[in-house]
Homo-oligomer: A and B are copies of this chain.
Amino acid sequence: METIVLKFGGSSVADNIKLNIVANKIIDFYNKKNKVIVVASAQGKTTDNLIKEAKELSYEPDKREMDMLLSTGEQISVSKLAILLNRLGYPAVSLTGWQAGIYTSEANQEAKIEYINTERMQKELDDGKIVLVAGFQGISNKKDITTLGRGGSDTTAVAIAAAIKADHCYIFSDVDGVYSTDPNKITDAKKITELSYTEMLDLSNEGAKVLHNRCVEVAQKYNVLIETGSTFNNNIGTQINNKIEESAVKSLVKNDNLFLITLKHDSYNADMLNKLYFILLENDITPMNIVNNSVSSFYVSFTIKTSDLGKFQELLENELSIYSSSFTNISRISLVGYGIMNNKEIMKKALEIFNINSVNIYSIELEECKLSIMTKEKVSDKLLEQLHHELIK
């Protein structure tokens, strides 16, 4: 008898038809004599709607109270799933985060799981029940409800798998696995069968949406093998494990949602960059790839997400009004795979393809498992297709 953790995302439980699909998937695992724990997210747009309603009451809602409010979303999905499974004749019990023994830090809206007391889950499993756990939430030492931040349900699933020493941890979503590049754009895109934790982390940091990077970090720490899959088919997905792979490019990601910002000022003091950085962080903007070319005048460039652009422009009119500025929408192409840093052939081929297409490179970053290339113009799907064809075997 194996212990299995299954995680279903919000779009997989969005309505009654989908709840039925999910229920049947759960029953399949249960019928194979498995002990089954299911972690579910809030249904469809529930969390977004609750946030919208709260913002109508307060521009900046109290974080503790937001967690009280948002945690109801997952409680609703797991109790509905339990109602459905019981009706189908399968014993099921739903648990909130605190009932499942998920203890977290006190940081409301971005709590970290500190400890899981598996006693209640274990008891229900021993009674033959399917255990449904509300994802994304826990309880602090003060007995306040906390939430783990967006994508937290993935983390809940992996942390439970680690605590309960599960034999398998499946993360189900709309897509069955991680692809070598966006299959909606590049027809050659192929599913990756295995990825190491580091490769997966690099991919999710670059915007791949299959897994949340926090859950990959937890999986790596506790050596939990993650298997991805689609809620809506039975294809084999991608396995994320700690195997050392041969040097190769596994996946190609393009991110067009970045702006390159340049700030200037006639004079320069050593503390100007510090102050700038501080103001940006205070306003929840994380500047990436900062380059400081200041000498006698201040001259700094960095990238921010397109979604932060509005906030940043407001700052330019207020706290940062001493600076003159320029903006460019840039593209960032990342090649991810073990050993890229030590494989000069990959880098050479990539640069060649940019050259052939007459696309000027603005900057290059090289890490153990990742090569990122930024350009000041939008990179075409044709260039992407060539990179994919030449570099991914």
Q: Which residues of A contact B (CB under 8 A)?
A: 16, 19, 50, 53-54, 56-62, 64-66, 68-69, 71-72, 75-76, 78-80, 82-84, 86-87, 92-94, 96, 98-99, 120, 143-145
Complex CA distance for A59 and B83, rounded to whole angstroms: 10
Cβ-closest chain B residue relative to A144: B99
A61: min CB distance to chain B, Å: 4
Complex CA distance for A61 and B68, rounded to whole angstroms: 25
The answer to whether A83 and B65 have CB atoms under 8 Å apart is yes
Chain B residues positioned under 8 Å from A61 (CB to CB): 83, 86-87
Chain B residues positioned under 8 Å from A50 (CB to CB): 76
Cβ-closest chain B residue relative to A93: B64
Complex CA distance for A25 and B358, rounded to whole angstroms: 68
| Known contacts A58-B87, A59-B87, A120-B143; A82/B94 CB under 8 A | no
Cβ-closest chain B residue relative to A16: B56
Closest 9 CB pairs of A and B: A58-B87, A68-B79, A72-B72, A69-B79, A65-B82, A61-B83, A62-B86, A57-B84, A65-B83
A136: min CB distance to chain B, Å: 14
**Number of this chain's copies in the complex:** 2
- If A62-B87, A65-B94, A66-B79 are given as contacts, then 11 extra A-B residue pairs at C-beta distance below 8 Å, sorted by A number, are A16-B56, A16-B57, A54-B80, A58-B84, A62-B82, A65-B82, A65-B86, A66-B83, A69-B75, A72-B76, A99-B144
A138: min CB distance to chain B, Å: 14
Cβ-closest chain B residue relative to A58: B87
Cβ-closest chain B residue relative to A95: B68
- 11 CB-based A-B contacts, threshold 8 Å: A16-B57, A54-B80, A58-B84, A59-B87, A65-B79, A65-B86, A65-B92, A68-B79, A68-B94, A69-B83, A96-B145
A84: min CB distance to chain B, Å: 5
Cβ-closest chain B residue relative to A68: B79
| Known contacts A68-B78, A99-B143; A87/B57 CB under 8 A | yes
Cβ-closest chain B residue relative to A56: B16
Chain B residues positioned under 8 Å from A56 (CB to CB): 16
A7: min CB distance to chain B, Å: 19
A333: min CB distance to chain B, Å: 42
